[in-house]
A and B are shown apart, each in its own frame.
Chain A
Amino acid sequence: MLSKNDYLEERITEYVVNQKESFYRLAYSYVKNAEDALDIVQESVCKAISSMDSLKNPDYIKTWFYKIVVNTSLDFIRKQRKSVAVGEEVLSSFDFGAVDNYEDFDLQEALDNLPAKYRTIVILRFFEDLKIDEIAEILNENVNTVKTRLYKSLEILRIKLSDCEEVWNEG
């Protein structure tokens, strides 16, 4: 007979094995190199399994695990101090002028140039199809902050969605 922990462990293992590429991509978006991204995935998985008691409800496994990956990535960047310093300055450089200067807009690098806390929201919302409230939970932000940042990100990335519902769609 399976104990509660065995069941939980099986669920997590199955989830991790199926979703590992998503986690890797997200980790990679923070550190921009394969070696560190692998480190982050390894550490996240290890943390998840060893502290699975913190997963109160198995239905929340998705947000729970993304949260671990995001926190491990941020932690990693802080520790290694070798990430490219991208902060508010870059963002404000987009604010003043850059948006109107079409020649300067490099599509190839636009997403990478976005500060992490904005980029992650775009990734989770549009590439990983998470809901706004799930993203808020993952990033420990309130829903309105996430919405504001997402809106801002779309502006910077020059994404125009004809149907606003697509941005805020929570279902």
Chain B
Amino acid sequence: MKDKNLDFFKKQYLDTPIPDELDIVVKKALKDGRDYRMKRNKLIKRTSVAAALVVASVGLLTVGINSSPAFASTLGKVPIVRGIVKVLTFKEYTVNEDRFKADIKVPSIQGLENKELENSLNEKYLEENKKLYKQFMADMESMKEGEGYLGVDSGYVVKTDTDRILSIGRYFDNIMASSSTVFKYDTIDKEKGILITLPSLFKDDSYVEIISENIKNQMRERMKADDGFIYWVDVDEDEEFIEPFDKISENQNFYITEEGKLVISFDKYEVGPGYMGIQEFEIPTEVISDILVGNEYIK
């Protein structure tokens, strides 16, 4: 027999108003999830080929490299590469328990002529991932007795790999614990063996304002075009929880595309609500052409 209070609570609960947007939000999420998975699958294939290449041609570092038998068969199709800058998975940490999952892949750049740069980047990658792993193990230890789920996923994506430019993005995703998705990029001039920073692309620091204005306009356009898009731009002042996007930082995350376009990237929560995830804006070259140092990288 049901209790009248229970009936009341059930009715109250089931009467939670359902907003019309729910349908759109779910559809968009299904699509985003699919895109994200495809991106990851592509990335796994890529690293595998890169790893296989090194194992086959150079034969060093085999211990740390994760090669998979799955592409032994694809090896035959891989063109012969000489003295080329490559990114491969150097080391992988995994934990796979019921409530604790970690998948941490450390990228390693190989073949740069500037060994100092190569080493310092690789060391940085190893350090940041070691730290992540240590933190994860510590958190796991402290949560063993309690409740909750802990998941860490880190790895990398080669965004651009041309004769000239290598843009590598590392992602750090705390799946269900405390943090969020973070993407960090490094862009390298392979020919000169230098790390390209955002300020180094421009004559002066006016780029901060110019790029920020352009991004704000792009945000407004995207929001106008699609109701599912929300950015924290033109936020009402009484929205006390929201810090509106003002301008990019001097060293905002960026990468350069194969076509030589500058892309500015924001982490989750940085410019919009969580469901928007990582946000990227390609800056039209004509907007910044006057302040670029040259058109070596940005075209």
Partners in one complex: yes
A interface residues (Cβ-Cβ under 8 A, vs B): 9, 13, 16-17, 20-21, 24-25, 28-29, 34-35, 38-39, 41-52, 54, 67, 71-72, 74-76, 78-80, 82, 107-108, 110-111, 122-123, 126-127, 139-141, 157-163, 166
Please state if B5 and A20 are interface contacts (CB–CB under 8 Å): no
Q: Which of B2, B34, B241 contacts A9 (CB 8 A)?
A: B34
Additional A-B contacts beyond A38-B21, A141-B147 (10; CB < 8 A) = A34-B17, A41-B22, A45-B26, A45-B33, A51-B37, A51-B175, A111-B9, A126-B9, A157-B6, A163-B1
Please state if B30 and A13 are interface contacts (CB–CB under 8 Å): yes
Contact status of A25 and B13, CB under 8 A, knowing A46-B277, A51-B175, A140-B147: yes
Taking CB as reference atom, which chain A residue is nearest B99? A140
Q: Is B148 an interface residue (CB 8 A)?
A: yes
Minimum C-beta distance from B244 to chain A (A): 16
Please state if B176 and A75 are interface contacts (CB–CB under 8 Å): yes
Taking CB as reference atom, which chain B residue is nearest A139? B147
Residues of chain A with a CB closer than 8 A to B176's CB: 71-72, 75
Please measure, in the bound complex, the distance between the C-alpha atom of A51 and the C-alpha atom of B173, giving whole angstroms: 12
Interface centre among A75, A78, A166 (most CB of B within 10 A): A75
Interface centre among B18, B30, B241 (most CB of A within 10 A): B30
Please state if A123 and B275 are interface contacts (CB–CB under 8 Å): no
Residues of chain A with a CB closer than 8 A to B178's CB: 75, 78-79
Please state if A122 and B9 are interface contacts (CB–CB under 8 Å): yes
Minimum C-beta distance from A109 to chain B (A): 10
Please measure, in the bound complex, the distance between the C-alpha atom of A122 and the C-alpha atom of B3, giving whole angstroms: 13
Q: Which of A28, A42, A43, A160 contacts B3 (CB 8 A)?
A: A160
Please state if A47 and B175 are interface contacts (CB–CB under 8 Å): yes
Residues of chain B with a CB closer than 8 A to A158's CB: 5
Q: Is B273 an interface residue (CB 8 A)?
A: yes
Mark each residue of chain B from 176 to 202: 1 if its CB lies under 8 Å from any CB of chain A, else 0.
111010000000000000000000000
Contacting residues of chain B (1-43) with chain A, CB-CB under 8 angstroms: 1-3, 5-6, 8-10, 12-14, 16-19, 21-23, 25-26, 28-30, 32-34, 36-37, 40
Taking CB as reference atom, which chain B residue is nearest A157? B5
Residues of chain B with a CB closer than 8 A to A42's CB: 25-26, 28-29, 32, 275
Please state if A79 and B29 are interface contacts (CB–CB under 8 Å): no
Please state if A49 and B10 are interface contacts (CB–CB under 8 Å): no
Please state if A49 and B5 are interface contacts (CB–CB under 8 Å): no
Contact status of A76 and B30, CB under 8 A, knowing A42-B25, A122-B9, A140-B99: no
Q: Is B149 an interface residue (CB 8 A)?
A: yes
Please state if A35 and B22 are interface contacts (CB–CB under 8 Å): no
Please state if B274 and A43 are interface contacts (CB–CB under 8 Å): yes
Please state if B26 and A127 are interface contacts (CB–CB under 8 Å): no
Please state if A39 and B273 are interface contacts (CB–CB under 8 Å): yes
Contact status of A46 and B29, CB under 8 A, knowing A38-B19, A75-B177: yes
Taking CB as reference atom, which chain B residue is nearest A27? B16
Please state if B33 and A47 are interface contacts (CB–CB under 8 Å): yes
Minimum C-beta distance from B74 to chain A (A): 18
Residues of chain A with a CB closer than 8 A to B40's CB: 50
Minimum C-beta distance from A168 to chain B (A): 15
Taking CB as reference atom, which chain A residue is nearest B230? A35
Q: Which of A49, A80, A107, A160 contacts B33 (CB 8 A)?
A: A49
Contacting residues of chain B (75-101) with chain A, CB-CB under 8 angstroms: 99, 101
Please state if A28 and B33 are interface contacts (CB–CB under 8 Å): no
Please state if B14 and A25 are interface contacts (CB–CB under 8 Å): yes
Please state if B274 and A24 are interface contacts (CB–CB under 8 Å): no
Please state if B13 and A123 are interface contacts (CB–CB under 8 Å): yes
Contacting residues of chain B (252-297) with chain A, CB-CB under 8 angstroms: 269, 273-275, 277
Please state if B148 and A140 are interface contacts (CB–CB under 8 Å): yes
